[in-house]
């Protein structure tokens, strides 16, 4: 069943339900307030059948378990989700990646994972983090289930990780305040690596030198920089927008040249 030292407490409704959908066997114990019983009906049926402990508790007990007031009335004791080691494989060449340089705030990482899941990013590479590192509960809660939907890798030397991805033929796109091009002005690749840095330090110069493209987000106000998680969301929206526009142009060209019925549709990447 696992020692207490081997477990983490996941909290927040969406984060907990995402664990249940993605890896139910990693759930060891369930704690919940009575108000959550209806939303957890399927979970409670499963843990009872699997003979996993579950307990109705009050808000004070949940705060002690999670060390947070933002538990949303439930917590799961689960085996931790760990960042994997980056080892190149052919299918990775077909993925969209986000790489993070110096982003250490767990809430920002969680919000970025949430945006990645929303926009269909396949994997996130955490720079300056050792493979095997646990993703903290605060990251999983902020991700609202996104951490269970996006592959997470880690590399202590991010430059080496970026070279591995370049070896797969992936273009590296640095998002920075003063880029050489503005987001939306030029086409973006269907697959690639989008690199973001911490708010104060930005992307390290050595990593910027590795990137094939340097892109800034257009702004009209007096502030130059965004919170890194907001920046990620805007940049990923631009990436998805380009892909949608390109697909639309192809469909229009195909229907115009043939003048007949369109072929069967296909979901985008």
**What's 61's domain CATH number?**
3.30.1330.30
Residue 111 lies in a domain: yes
Residue 93 lies in a domain: yes
Tokens 């917590």 sit on residue = 75
Residue 266 lies in a domain: no
pLDDT of residue 264: 29
Shared domain check, 10 and 37: yes
Number of domains the chain is built from: 2
Distance, in Å, from the CA atom of 61 to the CA atom of 250, rounded to the nearest integer, reads 56
Residues 6+ apart with CB under 8 A from 247: 268
**In the sheet where 27-32 sits, what is the strand order?**
8-11, 74-78, 27-32, 54-56
Q: Would you write out the chain's pLDDT as a tens digit for each of its 269 residues?
A: 455 558 999 999 999 999 999 999 999 999 999 999 999 999 999 999 999 999 999 999 999 999 999 999 999 999 999 999 999 999 999 999 999 999 999 999 999 999 999 999 999 999 999 999 999 999 999 999 999 999 999 999 999 999 999 999 999 999 998 888 999 888 899 999 999 998 788 999 999 999 999 999 988 777 777 899 999 999 999 998 876 554 455 445 454 433 332 222 222 33
pLDDT of residue 243: 66
pLDDT of residue 117: 97
Shared domain check, 211 and 125: yes
Distance, in Å, from the CA atom of 81 to the CA atom of 156, rounded to the nearest integer, reads 18
**What's 99's domain CATH number?**
3.40.1280.10
Quick one: which of 142, 27, 131 has its CA closest to 77?
27
pLDDT of residue 4: 56
Q: 3-class SS at 222?
A: coil
**In the sheet where 192-197 sits, what is the strand order?**
84-85, 151-155, 123-127, 96-101, 192-197, 172-175, 213-216, 181-182
Shared domain check, 184 and 133: yes
pLDDT of residue 199: 79
pLDDT of residue 184: 86
Range of 38's domain? 4-78
């Amino acid at each position: 069943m696992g020692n207490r030292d081997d477990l983490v407490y996941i909290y927040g409704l969406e984060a907990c339900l995402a664990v249940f959908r993605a890896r139910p066997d990693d759930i060891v114990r369930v704690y919940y307030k009575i108000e959550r019983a209806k939303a957890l009906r399927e979970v409670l049926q499963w843990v009872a059948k699997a003979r996993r402990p579950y307990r109705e508790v009050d808000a004070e007990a949940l705060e002690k378990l999670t060390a947070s007031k933002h538990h949303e009335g439930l917590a799961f004791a689960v085996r931790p989700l760990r960042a994997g080691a980056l080892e190149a494989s052919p299918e990775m060449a077909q993925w969209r990646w986000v790489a993070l340089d110096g982003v250490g705030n767990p809430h920002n990482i969680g919000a970025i994972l949430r945006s990645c899941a929303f926009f269909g990013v396949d994997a996130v590479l955490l720079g300056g983090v050792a493979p095997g590192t646990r993703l903290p509960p605060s990251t999983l809660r902020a991700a609202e289930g996104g951490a269970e939907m996006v592959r997470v890798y880690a590399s202590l030397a991010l430059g080496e990780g970026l070279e591995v991805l370049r070896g797969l033929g992936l273009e590296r796109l640095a998002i920075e305040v003063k880029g050489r091009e503005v987001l939306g002005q030029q086409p973006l690749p269907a697959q690639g690596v989008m690199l973001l840095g911490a708010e104060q330090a930005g992307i390290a110069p050595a990593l910027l030198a590795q990137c094939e493209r340097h892109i800034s987000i257009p702004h009209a106000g007096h502030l130059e920089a965004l919170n890194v998680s907001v920046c990620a969301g805007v940049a990923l929206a631009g990436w998805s927008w380009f892909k949608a526009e390109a697909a639309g142009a192809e469909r229009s060209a195909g229907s115009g040249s043939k003048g007949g019925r369109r072929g069967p549709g296909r979901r985008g990447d």
